[in-house]
Amino acid sequence: MTVVGIDDLAIYVPKLYIDYKDFAEARGIEPQKLEYGIGIKKMAITDTNQDPACMAANACLKLMQKNRMHPQDIGRLYIATESALDESKALNSFVIGMLEQVYGESSFEHAGGIECKFACVSGSYALHDNANWIRAEENNDKAAIVIVSDIAKYDIGSAGEYTQGAGAVALLIKQDPRLMAFDPKVASTVIKNEYDFYRPFGKETPLVNGGYSNLLYLIQVKKALDAYKEKALKTGLIKLQDGETVTDYIDLFAVHLPYRRMGEKALAYLLRHEWRHLPRWKQVIKEVGMQEPTPKDPRGTIESVLADTEFMKADEQFRRSFMQTSFYNEVYEKKLASSLEASSVIGNLYTASMYMGLRSLLEFEFKKGTDLAGKRVGFGSYGSGSSAMVFSGLIQPSYKEVVKDMDLEREIGSRIKLSIDQYEQLHRNERDFNESVTNAHREFILVKLGGGTADKAGFRQYDYVS
């Protein structure tokens, strides 16, 4: 079978940020809540002349330049986002327009691609659809690029405001990839109509049921993991001995990261689910120091579980103690912690958050000296509304070629801290798009918005600033 996966990836993060201490002071929140309870230190904020299209084009250009690629090497360019700029015109067309300023007019004409939407999970669907396009040999020896690009913007004063961020990741999908090959026939999904987080037409910020969305994320990823497990055992990808579970065969985790702490909680939830029926659970319970609570109605709805305050309180207590155990901490340190570093200093990236997590995992594990060749990465992707996808991939022997030069700090570049007043002015769109805070350098920016006449509304012109 054709081996397909991620050959390389490149990132783009805007230079403006808000510092958690300034933010905490302005909103009257204890800074420790943000630092530890959420796990955020810096949130990336877009400048007036930046949007999801130019962030996507900037990440893509980096990826192409780094790999000395020409548009002729690319057959598909997909973009996953939940920050679309137009109800009809795909983000791709803006991005192609920008890239063609560098590579020449019509240089991408032979290629194809669409914008994909399903909250934060659509990038994972896009990756697999493109991997299958290559497996089906429809690609004419060309590679695919999937870009995930988003601006996570919440209402001022809301609980979501400290889970904001912005950025893009461009992923190169190829046959015989240098970085990671997808495990075949195991990608698993679940889907359900839900209102945990949504953004009706014309609204710039989402409507969020925070606690509900947290729990739904966990439940949906757990269900997708169950489906993955069934496939992994059936295909023989994973063979279990007595007392083992599939997570024992996942060497590293990359999960959806609306904020760092959510990644830690997701790992705890999945491990509890996987370990509960294993012999090791006895030792775990001994260390936790209490029995695992069960809801009054174990087969109830999410609403009924959330309304079961006695259970919720006991479960919080159990989870916190579980996360203190040596059992949890060993897995956390070895398999998850490195993937969370970028999230703390960039914030939520919606579709891009798990892929920035993968990037973080590779860089910081490599810097720790871990030999990553042959390690299996397990992905837990979640999109509100809601759908989850669990899949895995094996890091290839040639991974060092790609990972050795990764340096998050250098790649983000020097950053500008916004005052809370400046941030709020940007948030409220009170500055015109051409009154940017930063001076762009070697990147695409928005230079013209609209065409002056009604029939030109929605026109966006971008330039590359060298």
Residues forming the site for ligand COA (CB under 6 A): 30, 32-33, 36-38, 159-160, 163, 197, 208, 210-211, 213-214, 217, 258, 261-262, 316, 384
Residue 238 contacts residue 246 (beta carbons within 8 Å): yes
Instruction: Supply the minimum distance, in Å, between the C-beta of residue 280 and ligand COA.
Output: 24
Choice between 157 and 236, CB closer to ligand COA:
157
Instruction: Supply the minimum distance, in Å, between the C-beta of residue 348 and ligand COA.
Output: 7
- Burial of residue 198, with CB atoms counted within 10 A of its CB: 0-12 exposed, 13-18 middle, 19 or more buried: middle
Q: What is the C-alpha end-to-end distance of the chain, expressed in Å?
A: 43
88 Cβ contact list (under 8 Å, min separation 6): none
Of 414, 2, 365, 416, give the one whose Cα is nearest residue 176: 2
Instruction: Supply the minimum distance, in Å, between the C-beta of residue 29 and ligand COA.
Output: 8
Choice between 158 and 283, CB closer to ligand COA:
158
Instruction: Supply the minimum distance, in Å, between the C-beta of residue 182 and ligand COA.
Output: 24
Instruction: Supply the minimum distance, in Å, between the C-beta of residue 386 and ligand COA.
Output: 9
16-19 and 42-45 strand pairing: antiparallel
Residue 4 contacts residue 34 (beta carbons within 8 Å): no
Choice between 3 and 420, CB closer to ligand COA:
420
3-class secondary structure, 102: helix
Q: Determine the distance from the C-alpha atom of residue 163 to the mean position of all C-alpha atoms in its chain, rounded to a whole number.
A: 13
- Hey, what are 93's tokens? 């067309």
Task: Kindly provide the b/e burial profile for residues 72-102, where b requires at least 16 CB atoms within 10 angstroms of the residue's own CB.
Answer: ebbbbbbbbbbbbeeeeebbbebbbbbbeee
Choice between 46 and 163, CB closer to ligand COA:
163
φ/ψ region of 66 (left if φ > 0, alpha if ψ in -120 to 50, else beta) reads alpha
Residue of this chain nearest to ligand COA (CB atom):
37
Instruction: Supply the minimum distance, in Å, between the C-beta of residue 143 and ligand COA.
Output: 31
Choice between 21 and 441, CB closer to ligand COA:
21
Q: CA-CA distance, 289 to 292, in Å (whole number)?
A: 10
User: Taking the CB of residue 364, how many other CB atoms lie within 10 A of it?
Assistant: 18
Choice between 48 and 353, CB closer to ligand COA:
353
Choice between 296 and 313, CB closer to ligand COA:
313
Instruction: Supply the minimum distance, in Å, between the C-beta of residue 31 and ligand COA.
Output: 8
Instruction: Supply the minimum distance, in Å, between the C-beta of residue 421 and ligand COA.
Output: 23
Choice between 32 and 461, CB closer to ligand COA:
32
**Residue 286 phi, psi dihedral angles, 5° rounding:** -60, -45
